Structure 1
Amino acid sequence: MVGVVGLGTMGAGIAEVFARAGLRVIGVEADPEALARGRGHLERSTGRAVDRGKLTGGERDEILGRITLTTSRDDLRDADLVVEAIPEILDYKVSLLEDLDRICKPETVLATNTSSLSVTAVAAATGRPGRVVGMHFFNPAPVMRLVEVVGTVVTEPSVVAGITELSVRLGKTPVTVGDRAGFVVNRLLLPYLNHAAVLLDLGLAGRDEIDTAMRLGVGLPMGPFALLDLIGLDTAYEIMGVLFDETRDRRHAPAPVLRELVTAGLLGRKTGRGFHGFHGFPGDETAPREPERVAGVTFGVAGDDTSSIAEALVKAGFAESDDPDVLLRLSDRPVVEHAVRVRRPSSLVGVHLVGDQVAELAATVLTSPEAARAAAGLMAAIGRTPVPCKDRAGFVVDALLYPYLNDAVRMYDSGYASIADIDAAMRLGCGYPAGPFEMIESLGLARVRDGLRALYAEHREPAYAPAPLLDQLVTAGMTAFPRP
């Protein structure tokens, strides 16, 4: 028998997961009103599954019939496992675990569904720290396949193994990780999202341009600001605070714009306004939303492998010239040093092709607005979405992607989680098309290492220095990470 304490959206989903697997469940809430809301969550979730053809009416009745709802924690005395899913406030969780420790039989495993808090701190409040584990489900729990199984330095190995096996029985993919703030998914995801907010604050590019670059250029399901609004800006802010408290890494300090929006009560979808629905961000007024149609514009192309883009522009009806209206410099590095060497620096625009849909367009301090607009029109004419940005190391995509990949390498190199588990966590937990190690190997280890070096040279941020393991593999001529 399994107990679930807290029947909000997440807790009710966890109870449903256990019941779907044929287990008897006792769901506990604080009072009758909260219990009624929990019952409503269960009925709506299973009802939607019936409507979508995922369950029959009979199966739904069986699932709901396995769940007993109560307001008495004492009803958990015979449970073999109790999962708490109450709000992310450490004092609340500690108090609950102390109570469960008193109520439950000695062999009962107590699990916390925390997404970022210390499992060790929760376990230490009990008389059975070896039988306390993290069991982090993802929302919506009945749908998301990932479960992070978090063991502390005192968790009994058999407990971690047992919860891992149970997760498989539930139809989930478990990844086992150590007790670090954010575990795998939030420890990699939230700094990336926070970094996007920092770049927006600095005016590197507009909100929509950054979202577009990461969605179309990298193939992510959502851009960082759309995802922040979905998660809830207050939730993101709280998780970043937990990460910063543990690491004291200044990259983990919540971005000023994130703090301002949370303070103003603009929390994303839950309030109707967040990064989207609010205007006034850097770049919002100046970045073109729809590229202007260009006709009669002449172009030049410089840099490596220019033939394909030149051919595409000629095919689209544009003329190449020795003295062009706009000079496109293909590069994945800042291009101002090239601008000062050409006849008309105002005509030069950096172009970084990302994937097969995006063209990042880097305007230098010398680029004229006319050249920037013309470059956007040219890229649109050959079927690429232009992403205007400033002429900075990494432009948009690499500036966001490479530090995230570097963090994953450092995570693995510390012994915190395996390559397979990290990749699985990011694919299943975030819907990414590939895990970070798969991405690094697809891009090329040397390319990622060199991109990080460029970011470090510009920002002198220690975290941008390539992870030692990555640097060593490139030096050794390796093109893939060694796997056991």
Structure 2
Amino acid sequence: MTRSFEKVGVVGLGTMGAGIAEVFARAGLTVVGVEADHEALGRGRGNLESSTGRALAKGRLSEAEQAEILGRITLTTSLEDLADADLVIEAIPEIMDFKRTLFTELDRICEPSTVLATNTSSLSVTEIAATTGRPGRVVGMHFFNPAPVMKLVEVVHTVVTEDGLAEEVADLARRLGKTPVSVGDRAGFVVNRLLLTYLNHAAVMLENGLATREGIDTAMKLGVGVPMGPFALLDLIGLDTSYEVMCVLFQETRDRRHAPAPILRELVTAGLLGRKSGAGFYNGEAPPTPPAAGKPTVTSVAVLGEGAEEFAARLGDAGFKATTTQAATDATEDADVVVALSHTPVIELAARLPHPRRLVGLHLVGDKLAEVASTVLTSPEATCAVEGLAKIVGRVPVHCKDRAEFVVDALLYPYLNDAVRMHDSGYATMDDIDVAMKLGCGYPAGPFETIDTLGLETVRDGLRALYAEYRDPAFAPAPLLDQLVTAGVRSIRGLS
């Protein structure tokens, strides 16, 4: 029998909880908001008034609509007032002991038919449900901040969730004007499991000196089209929150890629938590804009690799003496710099040159970015010159070490691989994963859409190169990727 959710309880009225209460009230439901004491209740009331007040100021609500929304919300300090609620959702701090204690109380107070939901972003819904006498009627309902604005809701079902309940909760989310995705109970669910692993990988990359924080942020924004680079996003999320999610992921998987990067621990311990504390990876300042181009001092350039003729022609139009060559050994002897257009490391090419200090790798990504790869033999002067050449042809240069897949692909391919493994494990569909990452993170495309754009073989081969260099089992291509490439399948989404 389909449930009718008309009266909803929200426990915890911080920014997230107040936003959730507002969302339910906007949809016409009766809401009971609960806080621990009168002081906290006053803050919760302030959160509700501030959020609806901002919507009023922007013309998204009238005064009558604001009053109607707030009028649907009753505020209390007593959990007993939730006794006749159809659904109760908690939005208290992400501490398992707190949540288990609360659910034990809710199980005692609420009617047996009441559905209990947790807004946890990463903790085990199964473990929370186990404290109740109704584990089949406990689900995850993970909203994203700010709840009145963000469209995504992750609906989390466990192995004991009653048949049909997850879909009923998903229907409720649709009634709220949200887009639900259905996921199994794995740490981090979809968005945080994929997003935080990628952000943690970027932090490890920074610690290893592959590129600078500004370089990595710029590369991902221009090369992939994400709205924020990983370090700016970590500062926005909060380094403490990110660190805690990574700890939960690592506790479940014991995968070393889920072990929080040491720099995260160090910054959190120092109280540098990102925007909330005024400093994190960036010290309160916005990520810098790349500096304007200055003309390189070199005059002659030898270019090799795929696309060499077009690149040389553009340099020629800009007044440089640019020649192309088929092999490194044929590079013009007196060229000031040698540019190797490549998506793979160029040290072997450099080692065959009579003047290896002059060779710089250049990986053109999309139509805006140029990854400038210097080998252990490259001179700083040559690197600087090629960065200038990249700017002249309309690219933003990002300097990096000469490592497998450089920056963008080294971060992108493992993220795509994680998505494939997630789908293959059976706890989320390709469509739901794509929707989750687009709505939850503002990505221009979901991971499976991206795989189809890049090509299955390209992604598989890139992962093989990463695995060969770093010997990290997580970089080994997911078996499904290998099988699809071997079978000659062109689109991974064709399987869904």
For the aligned pair, the TM-score class normalised by the smaller chain equals: over 0.9
Answer whether contact 1:291 1:373 (CA < 8 A) is retained: no
Q: Is the 8 A contact 1:297 1:374 kept in 2?
A: no
Please give the residue correspondences for 1:77-92 in structure 2 after superposition, counting only pairs within 5 Å: 77-92=83-98
Instruction: Tell me how far apart the structure 1 counterparts of residues 167 and 215 of structure 2 sit (CA, whole Å).
Output: 45
Aligned pairs for 1:312-461 (under 5 A) are 312-321=314-323, 322=332, 323-461=334-472
Q: Which runs of 5 or more residues in structure 2 are unaligned?
A: 1-6, 324-331
Does the 8 A contact of 2:22 with 2:148 survive in 1?
yes
1:18 equivalent to 2:20? Answer no
| 1:112 has 2:118 as partner | yes
Instruction: Give the structure 2 partner of residue 300 of structure 1.
Output: 302
Question: What does 1:216-231 align with in structure 2 at a 5 Å threshold?
Answer: 216-231=222-237
Of 227, 250, 260, 1:254 maps to 260
CA distance in 1, matches of 2:398, 2:70: 49
Runs of 5+ unmatched residues, structure 1 = none
Aligned AA (1:367): T
Q: Residue 318 of structure 1: CA displacement? A: 1.7
Q: Assess, with a 3 A threshold, how the Cα gap between structure 1 residues 85 and 278 changes in structure 2: closer, same or farther.
A: closer
Judge conservation of contact 1:335–1:364 (CA < 8 Å) in 2: yes
Aligned to 2:4: none
Q: Percent identity?
A: 70
Aligned length: 477
Instruction: Measure the CA separation in 2 of the matches of 1:50 and 1:381.
Output: 48
2:33, 2:74 within 8 Å by CA — same for their partners in 1?
Answer: yes
Read off the aligned partner of 1:57 and give its amino acid letter. Answer: E
Q: Secondary structure at the match of 1:270?
A: helix
After superposition, where does 1:23-422 map in structure 2 within 5 Å?
A: 23-277=29-283, 291-321=293-323, 322=332, 323-422=334-433
AA aligned to 1:302 is L
After TM superposition, the runs of 4+ consecutive aligned structure 1 residues lying more than 3 A away are 288-292
Aligned to 1:388, the other structure's residue is in SS state: strand
How much has 1:344 moved relative to structure 2?
Answer: 1.3
Aligned partners of 1:75 and 1:318: how far apart in 2? Answer: 77
In structure 2, what is the Cα distance between the partners aligned to 1:305 and 1:478? 28
Contact 2:278/2:284 (8 A) holds in 1: no
- Once residues 464 and 381 of structure 2 are traced to their aligned partners in structure 1, the CA distance between those partners, rounded to angstroms, is 33
Find the counterpart in structure 1 of residue 329 from structure 2: none
- Verify the 8 A CA contact 2:275 2:284 in the aligned structure 1: no
Distance 1:254 1:166 in 2: 35
SS at match of 2:440: helix
Counterpart of 2:317, as a letter, is K
Report the Cα distance in structure 2 between the residues aligned to 1:414 and 1:61, rounded to whole angstroms: 47
Provide the C-alpha distance between the structure 1 equivalents of 2:19 and 2:313, rounded to a whole number of angstroms: 54
The CA deviation at 1:308 is 2.2
Output the CA distance in 1 between the equivalents of 2:322 and 2:473.
Answer: 43
Amino acid at match of 2:495: R
Confirm or deny: 8 A CA contact 2:293 2:392 kept in the other structure.
Answer: no
SS in 1 for 2:490: coil
1:87-106 CA-to-partner distances (Å, cap 9, x unmatched) read 00000000000000010000
1:461, CA displacement in angstroms? 0.5
Contact kept in structure 1, 2:298 and 2:385, CA below 8 Å: no
Structure-2 separation of matches of 1:39 and 1:210:
41
Give the structure 2 partner of residue 480 of structure 1: 491
Displacement of 1:157? 1.9
2: CA distance, partners of 1:300 / 1:59: 67
Mapped partners of 1:199, 1:56: distance in 2: 49
CA distance in 2, matches of 1:291, 1:155: 59
Describe the superposition over 1:195-230 as per-residue Cα deviations: whole angstroms up to 9, x where unpaired. 000000000000100000001111000000000000
Deviation at 1:50, TM superposition (A): 1.3
Q: Residue 174 of structure 1 aligns to a residue in which SS? A: strand
Residue 336 of structure 1 deviates from its aligned partner by: 0.1
The one-letter amino acid of 2:117's match is: A
Superposed CA offset, 1:177-197 (max 9, x none)? 000000000000001000000
In the aligned structure 1, how far is the partner of 2:378 from the partner of 2:293?
17
Q: Which moved more, 1:320-329 or 1:382-391?
A: 320-329
For residue 483 of structure 1, report the CA deviation from its aligned partner. Answer: 3.1
Match of 2:406, as an amino acid?
A: F
Q: Supply the distance in 1 between the matched residues of 2:299 and 2:197 (Cα, whole angstroms).
A: 41
In 2: Cα distance, 1:121 partner to 1:337 partner: 53
Is residue 469 from structure 1 mapped to residue 475 from structure 2 by the alignment? no
Q: TM-score, normalised by structure 2?
A: 0.94
Question: What CA deviation, in whole Å up to 9, does each residue of 1:222-245 have, x standing for no partner?
Answer: 000000000000000000000000
Looking at structure 1, the residues matched to 109 and 66 of structure 2 have their Cα atoms a distance apart, in angstroms, of 31
Q: Cα distance, 1:107 vs. partner?
A: 0.1
Rounded to whole Å, the distance in 2 between the matches of 1:262 and 1:418 is 35
Displacement of 1:324 in angstroms is 1.7
| TM-score normalized by the length of structure 1 | 0.97
CA contact (8 A) 2:371 2:406 kept: yes
Letter in 1 for 2:442: G
Residue 4 of structure 2 is aligned to residue 2 of structure 1 = no
Give the C-alpha shift of residue 61 in structure 1: 1.0
Shift of 1:352: 0.6
Provide the C-alpha distance between the structure 1 equivalents of 2:236 and 2:385, rounded to a whole number of angstroms.
35
User: C-alpha distance in 2, partners of 1:202/1:374?
Assistant: 24
TM-superposed CA distance for 1:383, in Å, is: 1.2
Give the Cα separation in 2 of the matches to 1:382 and 1:479. Answer: 33
